[in-house]
Amino acid sequence: MMKTVIATSASAAIMLAAACSGGEPGNDTGDTAPASSETDATDVSGTDQQTANADTTNGGDEDSSATPEALTSEDGYKLTPYASGLTFPWDMLFLPSGEMLVTERDGNIRVIRDGELLEAPVSGTPETLAEGQGGYFAMALDPDFASNRTLYLAYAKGSADENTTAVIKGILSDDASELTEVQEIFAGTPRETTYHYGGRLEFLPDGTLIITMGEGFRYMEEAQNPMNYHGTIARINTDGSIPEDNPFASGEEGAPAVWTYGNRNVQGLLWDGGREILWAHEHGPKGGDELNILEPGNNYGWPAITYGVNYDGTIITEQTEAEGMEQPVVKWVPSIAPSGMVLLDENSGDWSGWAGDIIVAAMNGPKGQKLVRVDLDETGTSATTEDMLADLAIPFRDITIGPDGKIYLATANMEGVIYTLEQASDESEEQGTTE
């Protein structure tokens, strides 16, 4: 039986006012707009600026325009600047050659080589809709990248009036300066909103690609309808074709690429090879962020069941459980606004003592601006959580492990910084450091 961990706080009064950002223009559902905690949102003008309301531009106490300095948290961790000068970094990815690629939400892939951010972004990448929560999202390397140099990118495609989450692939040049032979391999269901895109990518051991999508916020009821891609997670082959063993491959009871449905806005995704589990976390509304085990064909409940409420405090549903709908392994009430996450293993350097645990990056949720360690049992069905770096109040968009075994963290601020994380105290034995 799966045990669900509830990370709660009695101090509801500390919820950020930004978590209730007002009605979405043109939204005839009567719902309020998505929390700004779910976005590193926007530097554009107009109504999307007002409703997405970039709360991460003022996350933390540091001056984002100043040269970043090393920081030490009260719980004994040190952040050392690795790179700065980025604009809304979204995803980090290391190449086998050691360079780091970073997506910027406004439509660039940047290259960091030997700790230096190159001035020119990767050329040949697609135009994106950088409005609201739209822009460039996650990347993934082909399982055969060493021989084919194929890079995948999820991004917001279209206009403010009609857009969706799309995925392209292309060939990355040897010097990582150019993407060529770009072709679209997937596009979700069109919608008329610039919120809730999902946008994470992960390869399964069989070589198929998992793509997360949001429900566009105003289409939340459609998350219970697997015949479209709103609020779903998709699985495709690398050429864009549909795997024959997808749960709705025939198209008779669901859209052929749908892998799971009843999801809200999934922005964390990873494959756990030791447990053979596909993990995903998603933003809840006001409360109810979730960490889930994904299984093909399963319904994750949104919005029929939820542990959260609308941003104006009104009830979405009285139900938190229902037959045929999955329960999370961990849920957060109040929200933490989870974004990237990473699985630690025996190759995680000083963090190898936590092998099998997940660290979740948290943005500007009411209880966010920190990291959360999820200490999992052998089966992954029971967990405890531990906050990290909470006193620094920094919103983190992404987290990854480098080939050097170090943890790298990207902030969600407009003037983004990438840090390395290490233990600054003598707590090394507890936390897995070998000295």
Residue 71: strand, helix, or coil: strand
Is residue 196 annotated as a catalytic residue, yes or no?
Answer: yes
Question: Which of 424, 412, 418, 416 has the alpha carbon at shortest distance from 388?
Answer: 424
Residues 307, 331 contacting (CB under 8 angstroms): yes
Residues 281, 5 contacting (CB under 8 angstroms): no
3-state DSSP of 327-366: CCCEEEECCCCEEEEEECCCCCHHHHHHCCCEEEEECCCC
- The dihedral sign for the CA sequence 157, 131, 263, 56: positive
Q: What is the dihedral of CA 55, 366, 431, 3, to 10 degrees?
A: -130
CA distances from 324 to 77, 158, 226, 297, 387 (A): 42, 35, 14, 11, 32
Is 356 buried (19+), middle (13-18) or exposed (0-12) by CB count in 10 A? Answer: middle
Q: Beginning with the edge strand found earlier in the chain, give each strand of the sheet holding 383-388 in spatial order.
A: 338-343, 358-362, 370-376, 383-388
Is 8 buried (19+), middle (13-18) or exposed (0-12) by CB count in 10 A? Answer: middle
The verdict on whether omega for the bond into residue 190 sits within 30 degrees of 0, i.e. cis, is no
Q: State how far Cα 366 lies from the chain centre.
A: 17
Can you read off the two tokens belonging to residue 425?
A: 């105290």
Find where tokens 């494959």 sit. 271
- Backbone angle region of 93, left / alpha / beta, with phi > 0 → left and psi within -120 to 50 → alpha: beta
Give CA–CA dist 422/433, Å, rounded.
10
Question: Which of 303, 338, 55 has the alpha carbon at shortest distance from 200?
Answer: 338
Can you read off the two tokens belonging to residue 333?
A: 């009430």
Q: Which of 196, 230, 281, 283 is catalytic?
A: 196
Residues classed as catalytic: 196
